Amino acid sequence: MERRSFLQFSMLASALALTAKGTSGATGKKGFKVAAGQDRYQEELNIMGGQFDCKVSARDTDGALCIYDTRRQAKGGPARHVHHYQDELFYVIKGEFIAQVGDDTLNLKAGDFAFAPRKIPHTFAKISDGDAQMLVMFQPAGSMEDFFKQMAKFGKEIPKNKEKDLKALFAAYGMELVGPPLKF
C-alpha cells in the first residue's frame, strides 16, 4: 500500500469519527507521528498471534476512535464475538484474511476494507502464509485499549482451555464471545 493512500485513509477515518461525535478535534492537543513498527506509548502488546501497536488512542480523540496496527505471523484469529458498544473496522495492508460479519463471509486482501457494526457477531482470521498486516479500528474507542492490555497478559498465542477467563474478560469490556474462531 502506498504511504499516501494510508495517510489519506487514516485522516478520513479520524475526521469521520470526530464528525460523527460532533467534536472538531481531540482537545486542542498537538498532532503527532507514530513511526512504523512503533506503538503510540511504546508498549509491546503481543496478542492473538500478532503484535498490536496503538497508532491513535482514545485519549487522542476524546474517546471517539482508536486504531491498532496489527502485524501477524500466525494463521488464525479471535473467537466469534459481539461488541455491544463499538463498531469494528478492518483495513488490510498485507496478506490475506477472511472475515465473517453476521452471516456474510468476506475474503480480504491488501487494500480491502470491512466493517463490523456493533451488536453484530463477527470474527476474522489470517489465512495467508508469511507476514500479514491489518489496521483494526474501534469507533467509539470505549475501553478497547484496556481490553488489549489485559489480553496481552495471556501471551502472544490465542489462549487454549481458558474459555471461562476469556468470557469474563470480554464481558468486563462490553463484549460477548458467541462462537469459535473461524476454521479455514
Domain contains 182: no
pLDDT digits (tens, 9 = 90+) for 92-109: 999 999 999 999 999 999
**What percentage of the chain carries pLDDT values higher than 90?**
72
In a domain, 29, yes or no: no
Q: What is the pLDDT of residues 61-85, one digit of tens each?
A: 999 999 999 999 999 999 999 999 9
Q: Does the pLDDT of residue 161 top 80, yes or no?
A: no
pLDDT, residue 182, reads 95
Higher pLDDT, 171 or 22: 171
Residue 180 inside a domain? The answer is no
d(C-alpha 147, C-alpha 174), whole Å: 10
Which is higher by pLDDT, 26 or 165?
165
Q: 180: how many CB neighbours lie within 10 A of its CB?
A: 10
pLDDT value for 118 = 98
- Identify which of 65, 49, 53, 56 has the alpha carbon closest to the alpha carbon of residue 126: 49
In a domain, 32, yes or no: no
Structural domain containing residue 75: 3-22+37-175
How confident is the model at residue 160, as a pLDDT? 73
CATH number at 126 reads 2.60.120.10
Q: Is 103 within the bounds of a domain?
A: yes
